[in-house]
Amino acid sequence: MAFKNFTFMKLYVSFLLSILFFVSLCVANNVPPETICKGTINPIYCKTVLGSENGNIYDYGRISIRKSLSQSRKFVNLLDSYLQGSSSLSQSTIRALEDCQYLANLSFEYLSNTYGTTNQSSNVLPTSQAEDFETFLSAVLTNQQTCLDGLNTTTSDQRVKNDLSLSLSDDIKLHSVTLALFLKGWMPANKIRTSWPQKGRHLNFKNGRLPLKMSNKARAIYDSARRHGRKLLQTDEDSILVSDIVVVSQDGSGNFTTINDAIAAAPNNTVASDGYFFIFITKGVYQEYVSIPKNKKYLMMVGEGINQTVITGDHNVVDGFTTFNSATFAVVAQGFVAVNITFRNTAGAAKNQAVALRSGADMSTFYSCSFEGYQDTLYTHSLRQFYRECDIYGTVDFIFGNGAVVLQNCNIYPRLPLSGQFNSITAQGRTDPNQNTGTSIQNATIKPADDLAPNVATVKTYLGRPWKEYSRTVYMQSFMDSFINPSGWREWNGDFALNTLYYAEYSNRGAGSSTVNRVTWPGYHVIGATDAANFTVSNFVSGDDWIPQTGVPYSSGLI
C-alpha cells in the first residue's frame, strides 16, 4: 500500500509540474492562439478574436480587452442613434433601450479601467486589484445579458430587437474571452489578502448615539436631529468617518423633505478616506423612485427602523416597465450603505416582476433593512454586496440577479403567490463559469410569511431554480422550516442548466433542511466545511477589505 501511495504521489507531482510548465510557457513564451484558447468557453470563437500570430498570455489578453473596449464604444453609439430617432418607437422599446444605454455606459467604464491597467502590466496584479477587475469584467457580461433580456421580453419593435440582439450575442462571446484571458494572465494563483484588522469594530445601529467624525456644521445638524428624539447609533470603541450629514424629514424640520433632494446634494466621486455623506431619514412613508448614480459614492443612508422609514413604489412589468427599471430603489454607486429602512414594491402578485430594490453597487452593504414585494423583490444585479439581519419577502424568484452576494443572518419569508404558482426563493443569473458571482445564504431563518403559513400544504416552496446556465447558489448553516419542498430545488425549463449550475447545501438545520430526498442533478452538491468556506464573507466577496469601515457587524468565515 505504501508503494502504491508513493507511486501515486509521484504521478500527481508530475501532473502538477506539467501544468505549471504549461502555464509558465504561455506566460513567458510565444504560443499559438489555439493553445491559449483551450481554457475558454468557445475556443473556436476565441481564435477568431486573437488572430493567427503567436504571442504570450499578456499579448493575447490585451488584444481581447482592446477589442472588447472598441465593441463597447460601438454599442454605446448604436444605442445613442436608436434613441435619437425614437419618435417612431413604442414606450416599452424606449425603456428597454434606455436600460441598455445605462448599462452600456457602465460597461464601457469598467473596460476602460481594465484596459488602462493591463496595458501597463505584464505580470500578475495584487490580489485586491485583480479581484476588482475580475468583478468589473463579470459585471460587463451581466450588463450585456440584462440588456438582451430586456429587449427580448419587452420590446415590440422586431427590427430593433433583431439588430441589437445580434450585436449583443457577439459581444457577450467577446467579453467572455476577455474575462477568461484576464484570469489567465493577471489573476494571482495564490491570493494574498491585505485585510482590515479584525478588532470587533461593529457599531450598534439600533439604539443610542453614533460618535461620528464630522465637521462642526455637520455636528450641529446631527445634534439637532438628536434633540428631536432621533436615535441613531452607539459604540464606546470606535466611530464612522463622515464628511457631512443631512436630515430628510417630511414635516420640513430637516434639511430636505425628499430623499432624492438629499442625494442630489451629496458630493461627487468621493473616496472611502473622505468619509460617508450621511443621510438620516426620519420615520414616514416616502413615495419616491430613487436611483443613486455611479458618481454619488460612499453614501450612508440610515432610517429610524423597519416599517418606520419606508420607501415605496409600484412600478412593474405588466404596466410596461422592464424588470430592471421597475425598482422602487436602485443604486450603482460604490460603497453604498443602508440601515434601518424598508424598501417596498406594492404592485402585488398579479403584476408579475416588480422590484423593491436593485443593487449594482460594488461593495454595497444593507443592514437591518426589509425588502417587500412578490415576484422579483430583491434584484442583486451585479458586483459585490453584503446583507446582514435583513427581512426579505416575496414569491417567485424573489432573490435574483448576478452579483457576488452574501446574505448573513437574514430572515427570508416566502409569501402566498397567485393561485397555481409555486414559490422559488432564488433565481441566480450566472451566465459564464469564469464569473465570480453567486448567492451565498448563511445562517438565515427561512419561514413562511403570515399569509402563506395557513396554505403551506397547497403551495410548493423551493430554495431556487436556475435562471441562467451557470446559476450558483449556496445555503449554509441556515434554518429551513418544514414547508420547504423535500426536493429542495426546481427546474427552470426541462433539463436546462442542470449539468452546469452549482447548487450546494452545508450544515443546515430545521425540518426542511434534510437532503435525503433532494434533487439528483449533476450540479447539486451536499458540501463540507472546506467547500463551504469558499462562500463566506472573507472569501466570496473579499468582505474583510471593505465591510469593517461601514461599522456593520459580520462574520468573516463559517459560524
- Residues of the chain by 3-state class (helix, strand, coil), percent to 5: 35, 20, 40
* Strand partners for 345: 313
* Strand partners for 408: 388, 442
Distances in Å between the Cα of 61 and the Cα atoms of 31, 138, 174 are 13, 15, 12
How long a stretch of residues is the chain? 559
> What's the CA gap between 52 and 36, in Å, rounded?
12
* Strand partners for 123: none
Sign for the CA dihedral angle at 34, 35, 37, 39 comes to: positive
Contact status, residue 371 vs residue 390, Cβ threshold 8 Å: yes
Among 208, 201, 251, which residue's Cα sits nearest to residue 229?
208
Contact status, residue 399 vs residue 410, Cβ threshold 8 Å: no
Give the chain's end-to-end CA distance (angstroms, integer): 38
Catalytic site residue from 397, 432, 544, 545: 397
> What's the CA gap between 275 and 213, in Å, rounded?
9
CB atoms < 10 A from the CB of 459, how many?
Answer: 20
Among 369, 343, 337, which residue's Cα sits nearest to residue 356?
343
> What's the CA gap between 346 and 372, in Å, rounded?
8
> In 314-430, which residue ranges form alpha helices assigned H by DSSP?
none
Q: Grid coordinates 441613531 are at which residue? A: 232
397 is catalytic: yes
| Apex 344 CA angle, 340 and 346, nearest 5 | 155
Among 316, 447, 441, 425, which residue's Cα sits nearest to residue 385?
441
Residue 192: enclosing H or E segment and its boundaries?
none
> What's the CA gap between 448 and 82, in Å, rounded?
46
**Burial class of residue 479 (count of CB atoms within 10 Å of its CB; 0-12, 13-18, 19+):** middle
Strands (E), 220-293: 240-248, 276-281, 284-286, 290-292
> What's the CA gap between 347 and 354, in Å, rounded?
6
Among 160, 537, 157, 242, which residue's Cα sits nearest to residue 385?
537
Give one DSSP letter per residue of 293-319, joined into a string: -TTS-SEEEE-S-TTTEEEEE---TTT
> In 29-85, which residue ranges form alpha helices assigned H by DSSP?
33-36, 43-50, 57-84
Q: Grid coordinates 438545520 are at which residue? A: 509
Grid coordinates representing 36? 491559449
Query: Active-site residue numbers?
Result: 397
